[in-house]
């Protein structure tokens, strides 16, 4: 204990004697500020300094006793808490029972608390949760206050198709309104018109030598690995190939992946950017919360990796476009950038920002989705030896020499390959979720009246593997796509709802790059099976158990390749 300190103060009554208060010194910072609540109801508040302490004296009438202050503070706290509880309760009751969509079934907890679906998406489990909900509630599920998941084929023409006003997309604020995916109707038409020449049959024919050159390089690298006897990650090789192809078609040069056998640092940032998309939907759902977080944590309210990946991806694109524009005269080969640059000087000219936005999108859509599809094809073929043998036999009997394997020939002469491709699109669609649309007029789907302002989509991985649409839906069997399965009533697949599978969407906003994607898929798959026998390694037997962030999060797909004819 410290030495005693005596503090004197005067009351308002000059006749009253001077009062004294004895305190004991205790550890405190220099010049500590203490409030002493005295029993007197009237005295002149003064500040006294003694030793290293400072004392402010206030009348008790101006500063209530502790127990009174505690009651006041508790009351002040209870009011906002009670208001919050009341708001949550009334909002929950309205969302579940009084909402215009209350007649549509769905999980009540998700309807009451929309954050649950965002958490599921961020965890990469939204497709699994939606599968569970549809198994419980039927083909139309309400899984948010105004959000529906629909797995019937009628959603395609009614929501995405022609013949009606285009429904607005539901996009996160982080999306780019200057690309063909997120643009309004007017700009979308401009972008599509600018890109159509490159994606036409004539454009694809002009690009074929470039594409074949990279496929040649892939086969050469795989042959080296096969002859060494080592296992290899096919996911990596497919990604290296598709990124090199699309990089050259957009920017005039590849990423060098097939040469270096390593991912370019830009490719790594693209993977991170894709994975962050659900996070930006969450930010849009709770803008006030994130504004507060931005104030409290200006540098860290968004994970650093997310922001760094977005910025790095944008910077890489800007630099690559600038380099291409500086040497525009050296090109003119009917690639994707040439197609957009031909609008320069006209009324439909694309600005530099629009070039950047569309180049960004084409880079991701033209590489990751094709690589994902080829990876899934390799896995499911290796898991189904009879299917693999039949497809390999078809490829090797259709061509006398490897040079005959061209884009045109693989598109016309391989019907069983087409069946395999359709089945892979069904059981392992590269785009897992659906593109959400918002209704502007009432619409009837699946027996339900859906009011305006409803967000709805068809989650492809859910719809395509539902027993409501397909017999034995989790079984990989290309036979369900053969003509006899469609016409023979005795076939177990006769009643399959094949129209629900729309690999590249439908309507005015269907995928403009479908011709290029099919060409790459068929060409790479045919060349692979022409040259090699494939075997899946034990560590990749459960490869298909994946999380999904718009597209699948693929692990390594380890395979052993044997050169055709027993070599290697």
Confidence of residue 298 (pLDDT cuts 50, 70, 90): low
Decide which of 450 and 285 is more confident. Answer: 450
Decide which of 300 and 547 is more confident. Answer: 547
Decide which of 271 and 359 is more confident. Answer: 359
Range of 270's domain?
Answer: 185-429+501-563
Highest mean pLDDT among 13-22, 49-58, 295-304: 295-304
Confidence of residue 38 (pLDDT cuts 50, 70, 90): very low
State the number of CA atoms in the 13 A half-sphere of 129 facing the CB: 22
Decide which of 293 and 27 is more confident. Answer: 293
Residue 169's pLDDT is 85
Decide which of 20 and 427 is more confident. Answer: 427
Decide which of 271 and 417 is more confident. Answer: 417
- 354 located within any domain: yes
Q: DSSP for 60-88?
A: TTTS--HHHHHHHHHHHHHHHHHHHHHHH
- 477 located within any domain: no
**Average pLDDT of every residue of the chain:** 85
Q: What is the CATH number of the domain that holds 381?
A: 1.10.630.10
pLDDT above 90 covers a percentage of the chain that reads 60
- Which of 34, 63, 92 delimits the end of a domain? 63
- Which of 48, 63, 78 delimits the end of a domain? 63
- The secondary structure of 300-323, three-state, reads CCCCHHHHHHHHHHHHHHHHHHHH
Residues 58 and 189 in one domain: no
Residues 384 and 528 in one domain: yes
Distance, CA of 388 to CA of 365 (rounded, Å): 27
pLDDT above 70 covers a percentage of the chain that reads 83
- Which residue do the tokens 């209350």 mark? 102
Q: For the chain, how many structural domains are there in total? A: 2
List pLDDT tens digits, range 117-165.
999 999 999 999 999 999 999 999 999 999 999 999 999 999 999 887 7
List pLDDT tens digits, range 225-255.
999 999 999 999 999 999 999 999 999 889 9
Query: Is the confidence at residue 458, as pLDDT, over 90?
Result: yes
Confidence of residue 52 (pLDDT cuts 50, 70, 90): very low
- pTM (2 d.p.): 0.83
List pLDDT tens digits, range 255-268.
999 999 988 877 88
Cβ 194 vs Cβ 339: under 8 Å: yes
Overall size of the chain counted in residues: 568
Query: Which segment of 19-23, 47-51, 438-442 scores lowest on mean pLDDT?
Result: 19-23
The stretch 76-104 carries a mean pLDDT of 86
Highest mean pLDDT among 80-94, 270-284, 456-470: 456-470
Residue 6's pLDDT is 41
Query: Which segment of 110-114, 174-178, 494-498, 509-513 scores lowest on mean pLDDT?
Result: 174-178
Decide which of 398 and 60 is more confident. Answer: 398
Query: Is the confidence at residue 8, as pLDDT, over 60?
Result: no
Query: Is the confidence at residue 318, as pLDDT, over 90?
Result: no
Query: Is the confidence at residue 9, as pLDDT, over 90?
Result: no
- 100 located within any domain: no
Cβ 59 vs Cβ 9: under 8 Å: no
The stretch 446-457 carries a mean pLDDT of 94
- 248 located within any domain: yes
List pLDDT tens digits, range 403-450.
999 999 999 989 999 999 999 999 999 999 988 999 999 999 999 999
The CA radius of gyration of the chain, in Å to the nearest whole number, is 33
Residue 51's pLDDT is 45
Residue 66's pLDDT is 64
Confidence of residue 330 (pLDDT cuts 50, 70, 90): low
List pLDDT tens digits, range 56-73.
444 444 555 666 767 777
Query: Which segment of 47-51, 290-294, 401-405, 504-508 scores lowest on mean pLDDT?
Result: 47-51
Residues 52 and 190 in one domain: no
Burial of 340-373, coded b for 16+ CB within 10 Å and e otherwise, reads bbbbeeeeeebeeebbbbbbbbbbbbbbbbbbbb
- Which of 47, 63, 79 delimits the end of a domain? 63
Q: Which helix (H) or strand (E) holds 386?
A: helix 385-398
- 247 located within any domain: yes
Query: Is the confidence at residue 481, as pLDDT, over 90?
Result: yes
Residue 500's pLDDT is 98
The stretch 352-359 carries a mean pLDDT of 91
Residue 306's pLDDT is 64
Is 511 among the annotated ligand-binding positions? yes
- 463 located within any domain: no
Confidence of residue 299 (pLDDT cuts 50, 70, 90): low
Residues 344 and 200 in one domain: yes
- Which residue do the tokens 């640092």 mark? 265
Residue 30's pLDDT is 38
- 261 located within any domain: yes
Query: Is the confidence at residue 381, as pLDDT, over 80?
Result: yes
- 227 located within any domain: yes
Give the residue ranges of DSSP H helices in 229-345. 234-251, 257-260, 265-275, 277-285, 287-296, 304-326, 336-341
Residue 94's pLDDT is 86
């Amino acid at each position: 204990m410290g030495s005693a300190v005596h503090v004197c103060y005067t009351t308002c009554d000059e006749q009253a004697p001077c009062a004294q208060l004895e305190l004991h010194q205790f550890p405190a910072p220099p010049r500590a500020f203490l409030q002493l609540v005295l029993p007197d109801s009237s005295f002149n508040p003064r500040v006294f300094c003694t030793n290293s302490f400072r004392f402010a004296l206030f009348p008790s009438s101006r500063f209530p006793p502790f127990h009174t202050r505690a009651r006041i503070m508790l009351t002040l706290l209870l009011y906002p808490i009670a208001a919050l509880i009341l708001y949550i309760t009334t909002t929950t009751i309205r969302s579940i029972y009084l909402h215009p969509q209350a007649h549509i079934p769905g999980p009540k907890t998700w309807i009451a608390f929309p954050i649950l679906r965002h958490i599921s998406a961020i965890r990469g489990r939204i497709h699994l949760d939606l599968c569970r909900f549809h198994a419980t509630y039927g083909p139309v599920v309400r899984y948010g206050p105004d959000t529906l998941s629909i797995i019937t084929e009628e959603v395609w023409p009614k929501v995405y198709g022609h013949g009606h006003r285009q429904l607005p997309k539901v996009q996160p604020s982080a999306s780019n309104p200057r690309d063909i995916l997120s643009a309004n109707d007017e700009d979308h038409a401009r972008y599509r018109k600018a890109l159509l020449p490159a994606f036409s049959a004539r454009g694809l024919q002009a690009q074929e030598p470039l594409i074949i050159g990279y496929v040649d390089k892939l086969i050469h690298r795989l042959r080296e690995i096969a002859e060494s006897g080592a296992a290899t990650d096919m996911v990596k090789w497919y990604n290296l190939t598709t990124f090199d192809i699309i990089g050259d078609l957009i920017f005039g040069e590849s990423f060098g992946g097939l040469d270096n056998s390593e991912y370019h640092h830009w490719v790594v940032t693209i993977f991170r950017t894709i994975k962050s998309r659900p996070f930006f939907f969450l930010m849009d759902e709770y803008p006030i919360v994130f504004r507060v977080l931005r104030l409290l944590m200006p540098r860290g309210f968004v994970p650093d990796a997310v922001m760094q990946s977005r910025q790095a991806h944008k910077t890489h694109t800007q630099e690559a476009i600038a380099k291409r524009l500086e040497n525009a005269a050296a090109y003119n080969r009917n690639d994707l950038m040439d197609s957009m640059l031909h609008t320069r000087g006209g009324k439909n000219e694309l600005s530099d920002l629009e070039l950047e936005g569309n180049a960004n999108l084409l880079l991701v859509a033209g590489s990751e989705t094709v690589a994902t599809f080829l990876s899934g094809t390799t896995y499911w073929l290796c898991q189904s030896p009879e299917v693999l043998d039949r497809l390999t036999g078809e490829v090797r009997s259709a061509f006398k020499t490897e040079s005959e394997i061209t884009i045109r020939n693989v598109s016309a002469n391989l019907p069983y390959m087409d069946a395999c491709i359709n089945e892979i699109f069904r059981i392992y669609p590269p785009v897992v979720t659906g593109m959400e649309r918002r209704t502007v007029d009432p619409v009837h789907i699946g027996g339900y009246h859906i009011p305006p302002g409803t967000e709805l989509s068809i989650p492809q991985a859910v719809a395509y593997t539902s027993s409501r649409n397909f017999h034995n839906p989790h079984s990989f069997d290309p036979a369900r796509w053969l003509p006899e399965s469609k016409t023979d009533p005795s076939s177990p697949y006769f009643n399959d709802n094949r129209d629900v599978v729309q690999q590249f969407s439908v309507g005015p906003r269907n995928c403009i790059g479908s011709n290029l994607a099919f060409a790459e898929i068929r060409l790479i798959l045919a060349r692979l099976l022409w040259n090699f026998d494939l075997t899946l390694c034990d560590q990749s037997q459960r490869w298909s158990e994946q999380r999904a962030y718009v597209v699948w999060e693929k692990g390594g797909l380890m395979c052993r390749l044997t050169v055709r004819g027993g070599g290697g």
